[in-house]
Structure 1
């Protein structure tokens, strides 16, 4: 979430790319596979990275026919 210079209104809403929580303070920024992602906590970073590795493993398994 980005406040205006005078602090009276919001210029932009920023959400965690994993859980969707509004980010009031500086987010954790990570670039993976060319995508810039913003997270609210280390837990969300770890969870998203684990999910991405599981998806990649399943894709490799499907491409090789389960071998």
Structure 2
């Protein structure tokens, strides 16, 4: 049986999305927990730091890029 990856690095793909004037840049995807590490930037361009958000809370177009299968 194949060993599952604990995380998938996505920072090189430069995937970003905006929700409610806040921009999120995808850093890493955790398939077992179905969560993403994202870098948060507000409307003024100030970085707010990293957050861990649920896969279900991201837009459908981004889900297709993160998990293509």
Superposition TM-score tier, normalisation by shorter sequence: under 0.3
Q: TM-score, normalised by structure 1?
A: 0.26
**Higher normalized contact order (CA 8 Å, seq sep 6+, divided by chain length):** 2
Structure having the larger proportion of residues in helix: 1
